[in-house]
Amino acid sequence: MAIVFPGGTQGGPAKILQVVNTLKTDNWSTTSSAWTTVTGLTISFTPSDNTNKVLVSTSVVISGDVQGRRFAMRLIRNSTPLQFADAAGSRTRASYGGTAYGGGNGGAFVGALQILDSPATTSTVTYGVQAIALDGGAVRVNWHNNDSNDSSHSVSASTITCMEVDA
């Protein structure tokens, strides 16, 4: 499959110069009401040219600890938030958020993000996913329902991928 971005350095289609991926296969959770970086969902990435862009994609399996718990996620470069909503009253600005559903425990869903970032550097930058618990409960990554250890429950993985796009 070819990915074509108009405006490459030679006047033709841009090219993908490098791809770095991190796969998170273990569980993680926080009850913090402050933005917290998800352990294992970060990538250190060094662009080869300061005019190149970085296509960052995430797929995160996310849930709350019990039905009705609210949480949010966002993408960051170093400590700078990327791709989040405009201010709206006192609501938490995030890339996406949700409310746990399903039975007495929170069912999981996949939150996906994709952004074409312009880091404007050849220094190493770190992209990552942050989570926040909005109402005193827990936000969890790679957990499903009540996490029972039987064949009717699944385990999942989350990922973050960076691709350098030739400007």
- Residue 57: exposed, middle, or buried by beta-carbon count in 10 A (0-12, 13-18, 19+)? middle
Would you state the CATH architecture of domain 17-144+154-165?
Sandwich (2.60)
pLDDT per residue of the chain (167 residues) written in tens, 0 to 9: 445 555 555 566 779 999 999 999 999 999 999 999 999 999 999 999 999 999 999 999 888 776 667 788 899 999 999 877 777 888 777 777 776 665 555 567 778 889 999 999 999 999 999 998 888 788 889 876 556 676 766 778 999 999 999 97
Q: Which parts of the chain fold into alpha helices (H)? A: none
Round to whole Å and give the CA distance between 155 and 144.
7
The CA-based diameter of the chain, rounded to the nearest angstrom, is 57
Short-list 135, 110, 95, CA closest to 24: 110
Q: How do the domains of the chain map onto residue ranges?
A: 17-144+154-165
Spatial distance between the Cα atoms of 99 and 76, rounded to a whole number of angstroms: 22
What is the rounded distance in angstroms from the CA atom of residue 16 to the CA atom of residue 29?
34
Residues forming a β-bridge with 149: none
Burial of 108 (0-12, 13-18, 19+ CB in 10 A): buried
Is the pTM here over 0.85, yes or no?
no
Contact, 127 vs 42, CB < 8 A?
A: yes
